């Protein structure tokens, strides 16, 4: 039997703990480990509409929707479909089991992301293909998923280090969980977090997929999150589909843990 393409959550945890210990942070290992958050990463691959079955997960393209679905409208007209997720593709990848094991999620947004919405349908829902002439859809691409584990961003481990001046109150609240001396804080940033993402986050090259994910910390997103919020989606600019967010940045959608547990995906919010 061939080895799996991606490491398991347990393997990732052992590897990340080893980085913490090698950085001289063994004394703080338990606290730092408590901040680890399982994530699900996904990437696009070239294929297009001809490679997409009804209801399958995709970035871009026209979505498959329940009959009679009311297409979301914004101030400038119909919202553009961004993502379709078949939840069976990610079932079993999140040890916290935060998502339903079946069903679909869709993300729609206007061109400036001033209006972004998430919709959910249960697994027993019938879907039909859709087509619209008044929407310039993103090029469609199928998705591949794998588990990931994220350490907390540096601003979660040290008061003041990398804290954004625009949100000093939020940064102080989040950073106060663990105050490390300067030397150890920089070791955590450079030898743990930066090293981890260099090791596990594919470098951008022209024509490649973005690094998309569900859950986790989405790197430096912590400054914008409320304590009870999860990162529902981090959808990166993506050369396979031509999807662009800002200056090759990442669109972030948060949801309160209570809303997520209640399957109230309409409560999700986009943050810049």
**Can you spell out the DSSP letters for 1-69?**
-PPPSS--HHHHHHHHHHHHHHTT-GGGHHHHHHT-EEEEEEEE-S--GGG--TT--EESSPPEE-TT-
Position 60 confidence tier, pLDDT thresholds 50, 70, 90: very high
pTM to 2 decimal places: 0.87
Highest mean pLDDT among 87-101, 158-172, 175-189: 87-101
Query: Pairing relation of β-strands 104-109 and 250-256?
Result: unpaired
Rg (CA), the chain: 19
For residue 51, CA distances in Å to 70, 107, 112, 142, 201 come to 26, 20, 29, 7, 26
The domain made up of 9-271 is a member of CATH 2.30.320.10: yes
**pLDDT at residue 253 is higher than 90:** yes
Task: List, for residues 111-148, the tens digit of each pLDDT value.
Answer: 889 899 999 999 999 999 999 999 999 999 999 999 99
Instruction: Over range 230-250, report the average pLDDT.
Output: 90
When mean pLDDT is compared across 49-53, 96-100, 193-197, the lowest value belongs to: 49-53
Query: What is the C-alpha to C-alpha distance for residues 193 and 238, in angstroms, rounded to an integer?
Result: 23
User: Can you read off the two tokens belonging to residue 252?
Assistant: 């972030």
* Cβ atoms of 9 and 146 closer than 8 Å: no
């Amino acid at each position: 039997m061939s080895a799996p393409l991606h490491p398991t959550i347990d393997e990732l945890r052992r590897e990340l703990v080893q980085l913490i210990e090698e950085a001289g942070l063994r004394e703080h290992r338990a606290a730092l480990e408590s901040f680890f958050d399982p994530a699900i990463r996904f990437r696009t691959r070239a294929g297009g509409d001809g490679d997409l079955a009804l209801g399958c997960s995709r970035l871009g393209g026209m979505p498959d929707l329940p009959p009679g679905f009311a297409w979301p409208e914004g101030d400038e007209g119909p919202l553009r479909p961004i993502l379709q997720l078949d939840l069976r593709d990610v079932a079993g990848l999140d040890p916290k089991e935060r998502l339903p094991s079946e069903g679909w999620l869709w993300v729609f947004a206007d061109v400036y992301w001033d209006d972004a919405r998430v919709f959910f349908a249960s697994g027993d829902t019938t879907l039909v293909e859709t087509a619209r002439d008044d929407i310039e859809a993103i090029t469609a691409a199928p998705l591949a998923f794998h588990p990931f584990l994220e350490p907390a961003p540096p601003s979660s481990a040290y008061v003041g280090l990398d804290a954004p001046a625009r949100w000093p109150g939020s940064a102080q609240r989040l950073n106060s969980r663990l105050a490390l001396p300067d030397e150890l804080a920089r070791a955590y940033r450079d030898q743990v977090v930066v090293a981890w993402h260099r090791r596990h986050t594919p470098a951008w090259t022209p024509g490649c997929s973005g690094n998309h994910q569900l859950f986790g910390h989405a790197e430096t997103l912590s400054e914008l999150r409320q304590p009870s919020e999860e990162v529902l989606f981090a959808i990166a600019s993506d050369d396979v589909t031509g999807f662009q967010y800002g200056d090759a940045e990442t669109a972030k959608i948060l949801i309160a843990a209570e809303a997520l547990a209640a399957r109230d995906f309409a409560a999700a919010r986009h943050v810049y």
